């Protein structure tokens, strides 16, 4: 399988190189040159497979030529073996034909584990084969950091540095990062805000001389392997609800458009999906595009669903590429005008095409709490605020009651106690068994000033399993 850039000016890469690449050299994102397509008979024959076996069938074409089948199977078995629920992504019924797919049974209790548990193992496999080591430097305001650390903690060939804003992440989220020990794991608390952390990561990618030749790898949501891993659970849900003979709809709590883009790919690979609902919080750039063909940057709002607090949606460019007939030059010029003027619309036919599949809704904090309380009252299910936004959007945007509606349950409610308390459901939140002693565990973290040079010096001092590069 070969991968090409959405802006048309970067070299095509194979899977191995795309795994290590991050952004393409022309500023675009990598997508498969040709998407695999499965027949209905083939998809139907996968019913009842264990999750890792289904994952093998869905993802095999994407890694073809880079990872032999037997090795890939073993990696997938290990990846999903660490999940705490036998079904890996169980469906729970809320109402008649309405389901929540629980994607929070991984080590850090959010759906990002599905991709990052796999990414860590894929990186280690590829690096082992090449005899290389890499350094990961990432910024987090919460979920991604802990999932990335959990995913990389066993990697022999990866040192991971995660920057978080000092005293500005929740205690659960901080402890999920700082209580994981390993000579290759480095938590850095920056005396600054999340943007400061992100700026330092960007600057480190732009000038990597402090790494003395060691390669820097991105684990943010534009990494292709993360998108790829997320395609699988759309197939998994549909197969349990009568697919592919019957079509299914999905409502997806959305920030950077990675998770829902995976659903779009599942459909293009042959899975009958009737409707994809983009559910956003008050940071609603995607809702403004889907409802009014305006893709315009606005200020950032802090919400009760912080993992969806974004101003621009990095993976949206991948959808735009398809909507524009995969014309890289058109995307490059659209993105240029976005950078300069802060916004764009697309031609009416292209927008109408997108609207055949996508609907959207923006849900504010008050409505989020209302929905948590409503669902708890109806079914006793306690939703996290991100998932609640998905449920709200599903109920308002649903096109057909005959088609099963699956809401992606992206996080466990215990990670976001503030929203649950505000909803006033009066149910105590409990950490799952594997994290029950989280508040008693020792923490390891280095506090550094908001200073690029200090951070880079720390990385180069510790980037080789705690020793200097």
Ligand X SMILES: *Cc1c(COP(=O)(O)O)cnc(C)c1O
Asked if 299 and 310 count as a contact pair (C-beta separation under 8 A), the reply is: no
Cβ of residue 176: shortest distance to ligand X, in angstroms?
A: 12
Cβ of residue 303: shortest distance to ligand X, in angstroms?
A: 12
Burial 448-464 (b: 16+ CB within 10 A, else e): bebeeeebbebbbebbb
Cβ of residue 390: shortest distance to ligand X, in angstroms?
A: 8
Q: Which CB, 141 or 456, lies closer to ligand X?
A: 141
Helix (H, G, I), strand (E, B) or coil at 154: coil
One DSSP character per residue, 38-94 reads --HHHHHTTTT--HHHHHHHHHHHHHTTTS-HHHHHHHHHHHHHT-SSTTSS-EEEE
Q: Which CB, 184 or 313, lies closer to ligand X?
A: 313
Instruction: Find the catalytic residue in 112, 202, 212, 422.
Output: 112
Q: Which CB, 157 or 254, lies closer to ligand X?
A: 254
Q: Which CB, 147 or 459, lies closer to ligand X?
A: 147
Cβ of residue 141: shortest distance to ligand X, in angstroms?
A: 10
Q: Which CB, 249 or 410, lies closer to ligand X?
A: 410
Asked if 286 and 316 count as a contact pair (C-beta separation under 8 A), the reply is: yes
Q: How far apart are CA 268 and CA 270, in angstroms?
A: 5
Q: How far apart are CA 174 and CA 148, in angstroms?
A: 13
Active site residue 112: yes
Closest CA to 73 of 60, 88, 62, 91: 60
Task: Give how far Cα 157 sits from Cα of 23, 145, 306, 428, Å.
Answer: 21, 18, 32, 41
Query: In 381-420, which ranges are E strands?
Result: 405-409
Helix (H, G, I), strand (E, B) or coil at 109: coil
Q: How far apart are CA 100 and CA 430, in angstroms?
A: 20
Q: Which CB, 244 or 258, lies closer to ligand X?
A: 258
Cβ of residue 355: shortest distance to ligand X, in angstroms?
A: 19
Q: Which residues contact 401 (CB under 8 A, 6 or more apart)?
A: 96, 97
Burial 90-114 (b: 16+ CB within 10 A, else e): bbeebeebbbbbbbbbbbbbbbbbb
Cβ of residue 112: shortest distance to ligand X, in angstroms?
A: 5
Tokens representing 96 are 């008649």
Q: Which residues bind ligand X (CB under 6 A)?
A: 110, 112, 143, 221, 253-259, 307-308, 386, 410-411
Q: Which CB, 159 or 309, lies closer to ligand X?
A: 309
Cβ of residue 387: shortest distance to ligand X, in angstroms?
A: 8
Q: Which H/E stretch holds residue 400?
A: none
**Which positions are catalytic?**
112
């Amino acid at each position: 399988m070969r991968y090409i850039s959405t802006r048309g000016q970067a070299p095509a890469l194979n899977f191995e190189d795309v795994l290590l690449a991050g952004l393409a050299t022309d500023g675009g994102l990598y997508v498969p040159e040709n998407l695999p397509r499965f027949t209905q008979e083939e998809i139907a024959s996968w019913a009842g497979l264990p999750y890792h076996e289904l994952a093998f069938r869905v993802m095999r074409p994407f890694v073809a030529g880079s990872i032999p089948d037997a090795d890939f199977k073993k990696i997938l078995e290990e990846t999903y073996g660490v999940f705490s629920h036998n079904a890996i992504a169980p469906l729970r019924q809320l109402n008649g034909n309405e389901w929540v797919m629980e994607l929070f049974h991984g080590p850090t209790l959010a759906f990002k584990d599905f991709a990052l548990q796999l990414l860590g193992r894929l990186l280690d496999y590829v690096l082992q084969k090449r005899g290389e080591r890499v350094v990961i430097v990432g910024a987090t305001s919460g979920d991604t950091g802990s999932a990335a650390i959990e995913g990389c903690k066993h990697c022999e060939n990866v040192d991971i540095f995660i920057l978080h804003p000092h005293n500005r992440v929740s205690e659960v989220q901080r402890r999920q990062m700082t209580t994981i020990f390993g000579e290759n794991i480095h938590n850095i608390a920056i005396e600054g805000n999340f943007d400061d952390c992100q700026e330092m990561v960007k600057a480190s990618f732009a000038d990597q001389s402090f790494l003395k030749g060691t390669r820097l790898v991105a684990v943010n949501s534009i990494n292709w392997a993360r998108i790829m891993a997320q395609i699988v659970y759309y197939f998994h849900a549909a197969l349990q609800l009568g697919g592919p003979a019957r079509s299914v709809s999905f409502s997806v709590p959305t920030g950077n458009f990675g998770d829902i883009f995976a659903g779009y790919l599942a459909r293009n690979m042959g899975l009958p999906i009737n409707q994809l609902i983009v559910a956003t919080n008050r940071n609603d750039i995607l809702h403004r595009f889907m409802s009014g063909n305006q893709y315009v940057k606005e200020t950032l709002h802090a919400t009760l669903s912080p993992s969806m607090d974004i101003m621009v949606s990095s993976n949206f460019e991948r959808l735009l590429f398809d909507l524009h007939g995969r014309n890289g030059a058109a995307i490059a010029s659209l993105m240029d005008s976005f950078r300069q003027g802060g916004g764009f619309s697309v031609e009416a036919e292209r927008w109408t095409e997108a609207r055949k599949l996508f609907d959207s809704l923006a849900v504010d904090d008050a409505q989020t709490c209302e929905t948590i309380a409503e669902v708890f009252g109806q079914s006793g299910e306690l939703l996290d605020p991100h998932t609640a936004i998905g449920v709200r959007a599903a109920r308002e945007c649903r096109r057909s009651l005959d088609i099963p509606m699956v809401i992606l349950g992206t996080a466990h409610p215990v990670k976001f106690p503030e929203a649950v308390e505000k909803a006033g459901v009066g149910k105590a939140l409990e950490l799952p068994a594997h994290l029950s002693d989280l508040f008693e565990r020792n923490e390891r973290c280095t506090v550094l000033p908001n200073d690029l040079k200090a951070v880079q010096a720390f990385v180069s001092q510790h980037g080789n399993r705690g020793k200097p590069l």
